[in-house]
Chain A
Amino acid sequence: MTLYLHELKHGRKALIIWGAVIAFMLFICMIMFPEMKKQMDSVSEMFANMGGFTAAFGMDKIDFGTAMGFYGIECGNILSIGGGFFAALIGISALSKEEKNKTAEFLLTHPVSRINIVFQKLLSIITQVILLNICITAISALSFALIGENLAVREFMLLHLAYLILQLELACICFGISAFISRGSIGIGIGIAALLYFLNIIGNISDKAEFVKYITPFKYAEAADIISTAKLDTTLILIGTTYSIVAVAVAFMKYTKKDIAN
């Protein structure tokens, strides 16, 4: 597992920075909640009557004036964008960075099979995503305690589980693409995460675009749906998991036969 540990060590700075920034933003949002709560009656009503905008962010399904509602809408967006972008970035660069940074020759001329390399890199990505989510979940729970609000444990845990699965899916899809590219990976990763995020918003606004829920993982991580129903959409999660498995399988197949760029 030398490469696995090397990848974790090499990625630790980015993990700490992303984790700290996301956790800090969540924390700040939640600290602001008690102050905002006092003016929430009028604000909630305003947010609930903004038509497409209300639907786009699921504010028609949960009450923005409650701590969990506020957390789901405000923090949910920070989490899905921040966590999703982080996952996409580490996924897209996992394999391609070796060619981009010209370290592929160093790595691949050691007696480690390419299957093993792909496996260890995949494992390191999964580990980093899990570590990020543990850190964020803990900070979020702590922020609830600090402002003296009750945490709806089931909804909270389901929400964070959905974000974890969402990030793993994004990481796996980008990992699959990573096997095909040798440079320019960051733009592709951010582009994919942004595209899937906005697809979900479009799906929320327009009934005609409802089919996008089968494409974008952001749909099954919709805070409004999870908090209002206290359950996950297992069908969408299964579809997402299938995409992840296919992407990882493609990564293995491609990378084991790939001509490495000079």
Chain B
Amino acid sequence: MAIIETYNLTKYYGKIRGIEQLNLTVNEGDFFGFIGPNGAGKSTTIRTLLGLVSPTSGSATIFGKDIKNTTGILTDIGYISSEISFYSGMRAGEIIALSAKLRNKDCSKEAKTLCERLQLDPSRKVEELSLGNRKKVGIVCAMQHRPRLYIFDEPTSGLDPLIQKEFFDLLFERQKEGATIFLSSHVLSEIQRFCNRAAIIRQGRIVACGTVNELSKTHAKRVTLYKATHIPEIDGIFDVQTAHDSVSFLYKGDIKDLIAALQNLTFTDISITEPNLEEIFMHFYTQGGDNQ
């Protein structure tokens, strides 16, 4: 069952492009990664889905309900924004309680557990909190009511590695219970490690979408030659990187041609691997990879 579906979703801020003709499907139980650099349209997509801004054209559904009426939908969503702010003068615990009250729920037990696991002191005033601790407050607010869908916009910025691990452990637990997670992130290793599906957004449009394995399996290979002085002179070589003891490049073409070309070169060792998601991401952004 599709939890999020968008149909040619478009948002313009006056003449400025937010997102354009965005088609996306997130299925129930997905741990979905949403990747793109600043200004690509990640936050606009999320803000449109949550009803914070109205789409210019196109439509979208969450839980099968039109996002034009988000009030009913928001009951089952937990959200963290990338730049998190709370009401000044309040304590972390008061913010968490306010969030529960706005949902008409008593989440005190769950909130206590989450605070303990994330090592958050609820008695501290929000003005005194670091970005990481404010994120923790946001995480507790987003998770304490155990929603069906979690929408997180760059949630790990500011969190130390131990808390990041705890955070992802929590998300995996919720996913096992049937929840769906939609995670926007700059950190590609995070997406590769935790997500089963992902989409890459570029200039407001989805340029690639699929399982993380599918996205990683381009026809290109990362070839590294150790103690080599030259690279093969054949077509299909790009993204050449030179280190002090090796030269590395992406190769897209017939592997037999590569092996034939390597016969004429001198090198001590060779490795041929799948490119990682970061390389694919860079490929999509710097090489016009959506056409390849």
Contact = CB atoms under 8 A, between A and B. Distances in A.
Contacts of A111: 71-72, 74-75, 102-103
B89 A110 contact: no
Interface size class of B (residues with CB under 8 A): 20 to 34
A207 interface: no
Interface stretch (B59-67, B79-87, B256-264): B79-87
Interface in B63-107: 71-72, 74-75, 77, 79, 81, 83-89, 98-99, 101-103
Given A10-B89, A107-B102, A110-B102, 14 more contacts: A2-B98, A2-B102, A10-B87, A101-B88, A103-B85, A104-B52, A106-B81, A106-B86, A106-B99, A106-B141, A110-B103, A112-B71, A113-B71, A259-B13
A110 B50 CA distance: 10
A231 interface: no
Interface in A1-37: 2-3, 6, 10
Contacts of B87: 6, 10, 101, 103
Contact of B99 (A101, A110, A259, A260): A110
12 contacts: A2-B101, A2-B102, A101-B85, A101-B87, A108-B51, A108-B52, A109-B81, A110-B74, A111-B75, A111-B103, A257-B54, A259-B53
B79 A259 contact: no
A262 interface: yes
Interface in A73-105: 101-105
A3 B98 CA distance: 9
Interface of A: 2-3, 6, 10, 101-113, 257, 259-260, 262
Contacts of A107: 102
Contact of A106 (B53, B74, B85): B85
B85 to A, nearest CB: 4
Contact of A109 (B52, B53, B101): B52
B102 A102 contact: no
- Ranked 5 nearest A-B pairs via Cβ: A102-B85, A110-B102, A111-B74, A259-B53, A111-B75
Contacts of B47: 105, 260, 262
